[in-house]
Amino acid sequence: MRIAVLDDDLLLLEQIKGTLECHQHVCHTFADGASLLQALRNDTFDLLIVDWLLPDMEGTDVVQTVRSTHGMQPPILFITRRSDERDVVEALSRGADDFMSKPLRMGELVARTTALLRRAFPQSMGARLEFGAYRFDAEQRILSLQGQAIGLKHREYELALFLFRNAGRLLSRSHLREAVWGDATDTPSRSLDTHMSRLRSKLELTEANGYTITAVYGSGYRLDAVACSTTVEAQPACAAEL
């Protein structure tokens, strides 16, 4: 999963980054609140870890800003040297999902981040490989629609699986390139757009098949599940002919 960590302690940032990446997460670090808020204008993360005391603002202000201005809400773990009950209550009331006191215990940090991610994105964290008419065969790396195998290249399969496991979430271009290609800086944006165009066509992502994909200008892409209409006019597109 993709995690953003905000703390002005550079040594702690590196320790958290190393620990989380050892557990197969991708970690981006920020040393001040403004830089994280700037990144969130065009980027997406699965989890935020936020320190209370920052050089430019308080972490509670960062959390409140994220909660009030950003649509798809990531879980937030608050970290601080404060441990008074009033501090815990304030952090949680401002929008944090969990709270840890410093000095951090890395084992507990991993456990708490895993729990938050599992609750927030059960589909993405789980092993589910069936999504309506679409079924992924992990061993053979085959995606089928209505039982018919779709011819996909390696990257197309990885991108399709990532999109379905994150259906309903807006995913930034950097998030998608990083998750599928491994390094967002090395993959041209046009390559992602080309792959998306091919997937839309190959997977027949239409309302009739239960899923559509949307390009969000300046942000990224979102795959959405679409419920079949129950109106008389829409029935032939969603139901088999008698």
Q: Identify whether the C-beta of residue 108 lies closer than 8 Å to the C-beta of residue 87.
A: no
- Condensed to tens digits (0 to 9), the pLDDT of residues 47-71 reads 999 999 999 999 999 999 999 885 5
- When pLDDT is averaged across residues 232-239 and rounded to a whole number, the result is 43
What is the pLDDT, as a whole number, of residue 184? 55
Q: How far is it, in rounded angstroms, from Cα 60 to Cα 51?
A: 9
Whether 152 has a pLDDT exceeding 70, the answer reads yes
pLDDT at 198 over 60: yes
Which of 91-95, 113-117, 136-140, 233-237 bottoms out in mean pLDDT, i.e. has the lowest?
233-237
Say whether pLDDT at 191 is over 50.
yes
The two three-digit tokens of residue 136, written as one number: 């992924």
Is the pLDDT assigned to residue 108 strictly greater than 70?
yes
Instruction: Check whether 201 has a pLDDT greater than 80.
Output: yes
pLDDT, residue 73, reads 83
Q: Is the pLDDT of residue 173 over 70?
A: yes
Domain ranges of the chain: 2-124, 130-238
Pairing of strands 142-145, 134-137: antiparallel
pLDDT for residue 233 = 44
Strand partners, 216: 220
Confidence of residue 217 (pLDDT cuts 50, 70, 90): confident
Mean pLDDT (the chain, rounded) = 88
What pLDDT band is residue 230 in, cutting at 50, 70 and 90?
very low
With a cut of 50, say whether residue 239 has pLDDT above it. Answer: no
Grade residue 210 by pLDDT with cuts at 50, 70 and 90.
very high
Instruction: Tell me what pLDDT residue 235 has.
Output: 44
Provide mean pLDDT across the span 98-116. 95
**Confidence class of residue 40 from pLDDT cuts 50, 70 and 90?**
very high
pTM (two decimals): 0.82
CATH class, domain 130-238, is: mainly alpha
Tokens describing residue 37:
């808020």
Q: Does 130-238 match 2-124 at the fold level?
A: no
Per-residue pLDDT, averaged over 141-163, amounts to 94
Evaluate whether the domain defined by 2-124 bears CATH number 3.40.50.2300.
yes
What pLDDT, on a 0 to 100 scale, did the predictor assign at position 242? 32
For residue 236, the model assigns a pLDDT of 45
Does the structure show a pLDDT above 70 at 185? no
CB atoms within 10 A of CB 86: 8
Rounded to whole angstroms, the Cα distance separating 95 from 73 reads 10
Inform me whether the pLDDT recorded for 234 exceeds 60: no
Which residues pair with residue 26 across a beta bridge?
A: 2
Q: Which DSSP category does 73 fall into?
A: P
